[in-house]
Structures are given as structure tokens and as C-alpha cells.
Amino acid sequence: MNLVYINSANGLSKAALETVTYAKKLGADVAVVTNGNAAAELLATLGAYGASTVLQDAGVDGQDPSQLVKLVAAAAAKVGASTIIFSHDLIGKAVAPRLSVRLKAGLVAGAVALPEADGSTKVNVFSGKAFGYVKVNSAVRIISLLPNSIQPEQTGGNCSTEAFDSQAGSSAISVKATKKPEGAIPLPEAELVVSAGRGLKGPENWGMVEDLAAALGAATACSRPVADIGWRPHHEHVGQTGVAIRPNLYIAAGISGAIQHLAGVNGSKVIVVINTDAEAPFFKAADYGIVGDAFEVLPRFTEAVKRFRAAQH
Amino acid sequence: MNILVCISKAPDTTSKIAFTNGNTQFDENGVQYIVNPYDEWYALVRALELKEAQGGNVTIITVGTASDDAVIRKALAIGADDAIRIDALATDAYFVAMQIAEYAKGKGFDLILTGKETIDYNGSQVAGMIAEALELPYISIATKLDVAGSTISCEREIVGGMQEVEVQAPAVISCAKGMAEQRIPNMRGIMAARTKPLNVVAPAALEALTTFSTYSMPAAKSSVKLIDPNNLDELVALLHNEAKVI
Ligand SMILES: Cc1cc2nc3c(=O)[nH]c(=O)nc-3n(C[C@H](O)[C@H](O)[C@H](O)COP(=O)(O)OP(=O)(O)OC[C@H]3O[C@@H](n4cnc5c(N)ncnc54)[C@H](O)[C@@H]3O)c2cc1C
Ligand SMILES: Nc1ncnc2c1ncn2[C@@H]1O[C@H](COP(=O)(O)O)[C@@H](O)[C@H]1O
């Protein structure tokens, strides 16, 4: 049996559907364990992605990784899990390593593909500059899947949901305040990203970036100096010291393409670079390039996207 | 307050990444090692600030071989009081974490700090593993850290936002940007680091749970397709028909 932990607190995220699809593609039956009080009808829709049963512990709020570890360990014992899957998001990064020690089960952290024929699993190493193939030496293995590595797939199927009391105990971490910008697409999950750098000259010019992002339905990002000078919030900073992302499309305007910036975005499927300098290093990593002034190109790009979207409807 | 800071070496960010021995080993030829940036800039510097304000001791710990001593001395030059090196090759995150947990057990550290991740293997694993092995609370990817008595307050990243949380010491915390500013070691620090204690400890008998069987390089990007800046409709059409991303 393959067991998947998902966070269902804010509905079923794309990352959750990816992990269930991944578990199904591994071959065995799929059980899902989750905390919180999402509606049973919602959880039952996971059947379409390959889950046969969902265990739900409404008593665990999910703020303390040590509670979630107990929840997943109890579910693993109940279903006899041989592979346990997490998303390699902020929750997976906190919980999967703890579970690895508790179960003495090897962890593949940040898988980007299904296991190879020899049982090893591909991960990013050296900030995305290379891949490594990890072999697990224990009977039970844990895999955390990097978001956006596979697409959710509906194969049909029904699934039962069951209340589950994991006896996970109380949380040692008390939450004082939560700050979540409303409506924004979380950067690590975004499929389309529009990003800009120092070439934009000042925060007052970001309207052009936001307009293109809005036309595409994309999230916005920035280079590190832009966040450091305070033009944009820090959670938008991508790169080696910021967030690492791998969207389907990454559009970079006025960013030189320094190696530390590329480290956070070189897993993107398609990269578009807009830069006045034809020699900017970013063009070497780009699929499509426009040598031109972002102040002219971005508004035209937005108009072109709007024309395209209008023609689609 | 006694703080243990886990320090890893990492290849300088501009290092050429290549593999040898039939792609089974990282090619260290010409590679410059630095202190993993998250460990140095955030975990270590914040530990020093807390010690300067409240007293105590900052110990750094590394699982590694004698070739890591240069990187350890650099962390001592920034201001750590003493260093432990567990004398073993860091084979996997589980091995590293269990060695550190084994050392830290019963020594009364109030805080164990790590970086958010190493920039070579990027696993973000070691801190959570130490926390489980020592049965301590774990706050991951903290961007702020304050201590008042035995109460530890942090700001941590959550999916789509930030959260302020509190926990009682002792605890394990992984540290990210925002927590502190980089410190450049001065001459006095560099001189003092030469004589600070660096204790080499024999490893506990433990097995790794994972191994890297091989490595590969990403396929070379085909050269960039240049688009006329006056013809953005062409770019949009290519993104739709050729790249299939919109
Ligand atoms: C250890 C370390 C870690 C780092 N981590 C990160 C990281 O995580 N993320 C990150 O981004 N950086 C990081 N950096 C910084 C990185 O090295 C670069 O300095 C940074 O990425 C440059 O940002 P930029 O491209 O916005 O600015 P610049 O390098 O100043 O480039 C601006 C670009 O805009 C172009 N331009 C100017 N005007 C226009 C215009 N009108 N239209 C179009 N293009 C224009 C210019 O030709 C130039 O290419 C790190 C550095 C170090 C040493
Ligand atoms: N060999 C090591 N010795 C000591 N600490 C380490 C070692 N490897 C990793 N760490 C610590 O664990 C953190 C996370 O590493 P990782 O799990 O490899 O991403 C690093 O930022 C370090 O603080």
C-alpha cells in the first residue's frame, strides 16, 4: 500500500492532487491521510486521482510537525504502508524528515520524477545545476515530491473516507498570528510566473509586471536586489537564497541572469527573457528571448496576451 | 543560553559542477568550499547576537573529515566559542542528524540551530531528523528568532504566508533569510579562531538510510529563439502552439 499525506485545510491544492497521482503511478493501492475538517464529499473526489481510502483526523490542527508525524506514522501502521509520499512543500519539509527517523525509513527529499527501473529516484542537487539518483536502503521508503514535477491525472475510481483517531497528542507550538496575503497565488505552486529585476528601475514601475501577470493568471516574482532594496516583498525573491520554483513558464524582465538567480528558476519548463542587453547571461538559459526595453515590451506583451485570450473565447 | 549551531560546508556558488568515476562522484577538482550560506549568515550570526545580548555559549558542530577544518575555522572567526567535528564522511542526512543528536543528547543545549538547507544537496532534512531523534519541538524555515527566558518566539514561513509562533526551549530551529545580517570576520576574529578549541569526536556506529547511486547533468538548452520586440503576437502564439505552456 502507498500512503499519501495531504494538507486539506484550504481545500485540495494542486500539490495534493500531484502526490496522489504520483502514488497511483507507483503501482500499489493508495491510501490518503489528512488532518483538519475538510468535507467528506471533497475528500472523496481524491478517488478520481487514484486514492481508494482517505483517513481523516479532524482533531489534529497541523501546526506542529511532531503531531503530524504521529498522525502519519499511525496511518502507516494501520494500512501497512511500504511507500509514504509527501509534497516537498513547507509542511513536507518539516514532517517527512521527522518521520524518516521515527520509522527508520529512508527519505528521498524533493523527487522530480517517478523511480527509475533500478529503484533509484531522481532529485535536484547543486541548486538545480545537476540531478542525483537516490537509493533507499530501508524496507519502507518516504518520498517528498517537488511541486510541479508531474501533472495531476484523473483515472476514475471511487474512494471511501473514514474518521481516524491517531492519538497524535497536543501541539507544542502555539500560533500567535498568521499573515496570508489574500487571493495571491503562492509562488511555489504557480504554473506561470512573471518576474522582474533591477532593470525595472523602481517600485513605481511594477504595474507593468502585475498587468502581464494578471492577463496570464500568473504569480509575480523578483530578483534578490529588488527585494533587498525593498521594492518588492521578500517572499517574491527567487533564487539560491530565496524561493526555488519550477513553473511551466518563467518570464524574466530586466534580470541579468546571475548564476544565483538561475539556481532558483532553472527547473522552469520554458523561460522567456526580456533584456536590453543582448549579452545578458540570462539569454543562454532562455528558450525565447526579446532584446528590447521592458518598458515597451511588457505593455505590448500584455496586449498580445489579452488579444489571444479574447480570440480563445 | 547554550546554543549548538550545525555547520556544513558547501561548494562556492560559482563552482563548476561536474562528476567523475562514471558519474558516481562529485568532482572536487578546483572546487572552493565555503560555509553553507544559511548556516553562516542566519543561524550562526543570530546565535551570536543572542549570546551577546543574553550571555551563554555558542558551539558549532560539523559532521565531516579533516578537510572541513578550514570551513570550521572560518565559522570560529565569525565568533563561535568552540567547535566539534564528528570525524566521519557525511554520507546522508540521516547519518549526519543521528550523529549530531547522539552528541547533543544530555548536554543541555537550549537551542539547536541549522540552516534552512544545504545548497549542494538541498534536502532540508537534517534539522527535522535531529528534532525527532531528541524528541524536541521543531520550527522549520524561521525568518525571525527571539528568546525571552525559556520562551522561543519565531516567525516561520507557511504555505502562502508567514506565521508568528512560540515554543518552550529546548527546540530545534532551521534558519532562513531575514533572521540576521551577514558578518564579515575581522583580523582579530581570524587570529582568535586559530586557538579556539576544535574537538574531534569519534562517530557513533550508525548506518546511512540512503545513497546517491549516480548523477546526471540537465540536457543542454538549445539556443534561444529571438523574437522581434515589435511582434509580441508571435511570442504568444509560440508559447501556445510550440511550448504549450499557455
Ligand atoms: C551568495 C549569493 C547568493 C545570491 N542569491 C541570489 C538569489 O537568490 N536571487 C537573486 O536574484 N540573486 C541572488 N544573488 C545576487 C545575484 O548575484 C545578482 O546580483 C542579482 O541576481 C542581480 O539582480 P538583477 O538581475 O535584478 O540586477 P542586475 O544585475 O543589475 O541586472 C539588471 C538587468 O536589467 C537589464 N536592463 C536594464 N534596463 C532594462 C530595461 N529598460 N529593459 C530590460 N532590461 C533592462 C540590464 O541589462 C541587466 O541585465 C546572490 C548573490 C550571492 C553572492
Ligand atoms: N555534515 C553536516 N554537519 C553539520 N551540520 C550539517 C551537515 N549537513 C547539513 N547540516 C545542517 O543541516 C542543515 C540542512 O541540511 P540539509 O538537510 O542537507 O538541507 C544545514 O543548513 C546545516 O545546518
Q: What is the pLDDT of residues A70-107, one digit of tens each?
A: 999 999 999 999 999 999 999 999 999 999 999 999 99
Contacts with A, B 208-237, CB within 8 Å: 208-218, 221-222, 224-230, 232-233, 235-237
Query: A204 and A149: one domain?
Result: no
* pLDDT given for residue B221 in this prediction: 78
CB contact under 8 A, A126 and B17: yes
User: What mean pLDDT do residues A127-147 have?
Assistant: 94
- The interface predicted TM-score (ipTM) is 0.91
Contacts with A, B 153-192, CB within 8 Å: 153, 157-168, 177-178
Scanning chain A, the segments in alpha helix (DSSP H) are: 14-25, 40-44, 65-79, 90-103, 207-216, 224-228, 259-265, 294-312
* Strand (E) or helix (H) holding B188: helix B187-195
**For the CA atoms of chain A, what is the radius of gyration?**
21
Scanning B105-186, the segments in alpha helix (DSSP H) are: 126-134
Query: A141 and A21: one domain?
Result: yes
pLDDT tier at A127 (50, 70, 90 boundaries)?
Answer: confident
Q: What is the mean pLDDT of chain A?
A: 94
DSSP class of B38: I
In this structure, the residue with its CA closest to atom 6 of ligand 2 is: B8
pLDDT tier at B156 (50, 70, 90 boundaries)?
Answer: very high
Distances (CA, A) of B222 to A88, A245, A288, B195: 29, 21, 10, 53
Residue A305 lies in a domain: yes
Beta-sheet strands, E only, within B71-159:
82-87, 111-115, 138-148, 151-158
Indicate whether B161 pLDDT > 90: no
When comparing pLDDT for B9 and A183, which is higher? B9
Residue A38 lies in a domain: yes
When comparing pLDDT for A240 and A159, which is higher? A159
Q: In chain A, what residues touch B143 (CB-CB under 8 Å)? A: 234
CB contact under 8 A, A107 and B125: yes
Query: A138 and A98: one domain?
Result: yes
CB contact under 8 A, A304 and B233: yes
Q: pLDDT, tens digit, for every residue of A225-262?
A: 999 999 998 889 999 888 889 899 999 999 999 999 99
pLDDT tier at B222 (50, 70, 90 boundaries)?
Answer: confident
* pLDDT given for residue A39 in this prediction: 95
pLDDT tier at A182 (50, 70, 90 boundaries)?
Answer: low
User: Residue A26: how many CA atoms within 13 Å on its side-chain side?
Assistant: 31
Interface test with A, best of B236, B240, B242 (most A CBs within 10 A): B236
* pLDDT given for residue A188 in this prediction: 80
The boundaries of the domain holding residue A198 are 187-312
Indicate whether A313 pLDDT > 80: no
Distances (CA, A) of A228 to A167, A203, A222, A237, B162: 44, 12, 10, 9, 18
Residue A170 lies in a domain: no
* pLDDT given for residue A124 in this prediction: 92
- Whether residue A247 is preceded by a cis peptide bond, meaning omega within 30 degrees of 0, is no
Contacts with B, A 265-304, CB within 8 Å: 266, 269-270, 272-273, 283-293, 296-297, 300-301, 303-304
DSSP class of A237: B
Query: Does ligand 2 have an atom closer than 6 angstroms to the CB of B130?
Result: no
Which CATH class name applies to B2-215? alpha beta
Report the number of distinct structural domains present in chain A.
Answer: 2
Query: A208 and A248: one domain?
Result: yes
Q: Does pTM top 0.80 for this prediction?
A: yes
Q: pLDDT, tens digit, for every residue of A19-59?
A: 999 999 999 899 999 999 999 999 999 999 999 999 999 99
Residue A179 lies in a domain: no
Strand partners, A50: none
Query: A201 and A80: one domain?
Result: no
Residue B246 is nearest to which of A107, A249, A287, comparing CB atoms?
A249
CATH code of the domain in which A294 resides: 3.40.50.1220
| pLDDT more than 90, % of chain A | 84
Yes or no: say if B180 and B45 are a contact pair by the CB < 8 Å rule: yes
| Least confident interval from A227-236, B49-58, B140-149 | A227-236
Distance CA A27, CA A276 (A): 50
Indicate whether A184 pLDDT > 70: no
Yes or no: say if A33 and A5 are a contact pair by the CB < 8 Å rule: yes
* pLDDT given for residue A261 in this prediction: 95
User: What mean pLDDT do residues B146-166 have?
Assistant: 93
Q: What is the mean pLDDT of chain B?
A: 95
> Is the minimum CB–CB distance between A306 and chain B shorter than 8 Å?
no
Query: A105 and A243: one domain?
Result: no
